[in-house]
Amino acid sequence: MKKVLGILALAFIISIGRVYADEGMWLPMFVERLNYVDMQKMGLQLTPEELYSINHNSLKDAIVGLGSDAKPRGFFCTGEIVSEHGLLFTNHHCGYSSIQKLSSVEHDYLKDGFWAKNYSEELPAADMTASFLIRMEDVTNDVLGVVTNDMDFAARNMAINAKIKELEAAASEDGKYNPVIKGFFEGNEYYMFVYQVYTDVRLVGVANSSIGKFGGDTDNWMWPRHTGDFSIFRVYADKNGNPAPYSKDNVPLTPKHHLPISLDGVQKDDFTMIWGFPGSTERYMSSYGIDYNVDTFYPIIIDIFGKQLEVMDEYMQADDAINLMYADNHAGLANTWKNFIGQCTMLRKNKVSETKVALEKDFMSWVYSDPNRKAEYGQALPNLKKAYGTLGKVAKYIYYPNFVAQTGPAGIAAAFAPYYNAYEEKDKETAAMMLEQLKGMDVDAMFAETNPQVEKKTFAELLKTYKNAFKAEELPEIYDIIDKKFKGDIDAFADDVYANSIFATPESIKAFLEKPNPKKIGKDYAYIMSTSMMGKIMENVPAYREAMNVVSENDHVFVKGLREYYAATQPEKSLYPDANSTMRMSYGSVQDYQPADAVHYDYVCTANGIIEKYVPGDYEFDAPKELISLIEKKDYGVYADDNGELIVCFLSTNDITGGNSGSPIMNGKGELLGLAFDGNWEAMSGDVNFEPKLQRTINVDIRYVLFIIDKYAGATNLIDELDIRKSEPKPLRVEEETPVQG
């Protein structure tokens, strides 16, 4: 086991004053402006320079943004470098897509796991990239310097976007770096993030999904949690350490910094830090936005995604090949579906809209107490109320047809609309050009990883879902055809489409493109379905777009005013920007919580809970027999705690959201304690309003990760690569006896 200096994370401050520890996703470039003494009192043992530096190696250099292309503008997850040979830890669900694509029925790594014994056995994850932050820079003055007082909001955005492109191009150094500029506080500040992106990332190790996804959708967002949510990759570079496309000649990256690993575990009140790339929060959203999401937008997505998942589950549980085929798609849909259910439930239960209303009332009183403030900010909230009212009326007429029309043959038919329209208009030149573009499509790719039975049933069930959401007179033309030609039988309609539509199979599409007859398109039921639903969308698009523009403009004004309001009325309150897939850190502590009256949740859960939940053969709660045997014998080795138990997961108060999955959670010495992978159900409203009494991060304990690697998988080659540390026991203090005088 090799040694490396350990470092830890800190948080940032954008405005003056203090913040309660726990809440906030902070930009690390402002580390020296933080109330550093308070963090040290909580347990931090490192200097600001050890945390974030652009001149020396620092903690930020071990934090990796995981993307899916060579120039990512955002990251789906976070990873951390844990060895001097570019070894990377992240969550199982973060590696899920790559693992699925590398799998086959014969070699199903999701089902069976995978462990490379040496570099030559590691598998290229073609759809994963690893981005390292080189530096971040405040470019607010440069970006907003192009804005003039006579610009309307649209012109303002055009000028800003042009300036952003110019600054990003200048910072790329002819393609060496990938600079990304993003707006903060609803476009009131701008920061540039310069990344170096490595595209050769390889799968090294992953446990069976019965470990990495134990509990499935049932346990998702729930505590206690017994999921071994980790996977292992390695970043490769050319011989000079630079990013390079996949090549057998590439070598493991020698990183600027990697994280040591602690076997000390956690105790209540221990200091914790998380670094990563949180995706999106809406902490400054108005009450009107919250009400729109809860009453309109989220229920639509829950309705549609829920039906899709119902169909997938039916076929996936019955067929291993279908299960593998749809695994990644199902995981993404299920996570969003349950997330929105949780947000709807907890935004109401935690009275978040009411909290915002109280804030808005105070804000408006402050605004109206000054004529200049009234002129600048007085209409922001009334405008938001009106715009969200419009969205609430038209959203269902946009989202239902949009999602349903993308399904199966109807979704493919939409690509043929420009060609058919040119034919109808007798524009032969345009029609010929459109046809050539269609011939360039990769038709086989459109049908890759799809099953006709699953697709047809999904097609039919979503048509039923759409119909059930509207009055008869609100439905598009395709439902009249179903009523007249198929006596209202949507299943019979789906059978006909999949048997006869041009767009139902790759063979029928290829045959049409070889001998095109555009007249057939206009009579194709899949095409009619697509165009009739698009017609419904277009009827409502003008009102929808106008309302969304009003929301964007007035959110900008409202947040600008809100910052002034806090500075004037609560100067001790620090404001942090919403998450936007840029590097952040949060700090907090290990804590239990009380989710309801007379209910208490401990801050750790043990492997005993796996035995309690274990259901042999169950889709979600099965577990490998070898794992069950190890747990029953309590054969935990050095990974047991002081009581001889194996901690699987633990809770902390760190502020995270989606995108933080896979983030390292560290102690005060910068040593890895575990991997963050989820939030808790009772605080699903946390993306909009932080709930200090309830909000917890669920982390897989690094000792459980190492136990699986070592004792379960026998991948000791990986254990030997890590810098694993354990504190020496403190010596007992023996007081010297005072002699009795006599």
Phi, psi values for residue 652, rounded to 5°: -140, 165
One DSSP character per residue, 32-85 reads GGS-HHHHHHHT--S-HHHHS-SSS--GGGGEEEEESSSS-SS-SEEEEE-STT
One DSSP character per residue, 252-284 reads E---S----EE-S---TT-EEEEEE------TT
Spatial distance between the Cα atoms of 275 and 62, rounded to a whole number of angstroms: 10
Active site residue 93: yes
The token pair that represents 384 in the structure block: 């938001």
Q: Are 542 and 361 in contact (CB under 8 A)?
A: no
Catalytic residue among 229, 270, 641, 655: 229
Residue linked to tokens 């490192």: 46
Residue linked to tokens 């309590």: 634
Catalytic residue among 53, 58, 83, 93: 93
CB atoms within 10 A of CB 632: 11
Active site residue 720: no
Q: What interhelical angle do 452-468 and 298-316 show, nearest 10?
A: 150
Spatial distance between the Cα atoms of 337 and 328, rounded to a whole number of angstroms: 14
First CA to last CA across the chain, in angstroms? 58
Active site residue 586: no
Minimal CA–CA distance to 209: which of 334, 62, 299, 109? 109
The token pair that represents 128 in the structure block: 């994963």
Which of 292-330 are b and which e, b meaning 16 or more Cβ less than 10 Å from the residue's Cβ?
A: bbbebbbbbbbbbbbbbbebbbebbeeeeebbbbbbbbb
Catalytic residue among 98, 586, 661, 685: 661
Residue linked to tokens 């590696």: 95
Spatial distance between the Cα atoms of 682 and 107, rounded to a whole number of angstroms: 39
Spatial distance between the Cα atoms of 107 and 123, rounded to a whole number of angstroms: 12
Catalytic residues: 93, 229, 661
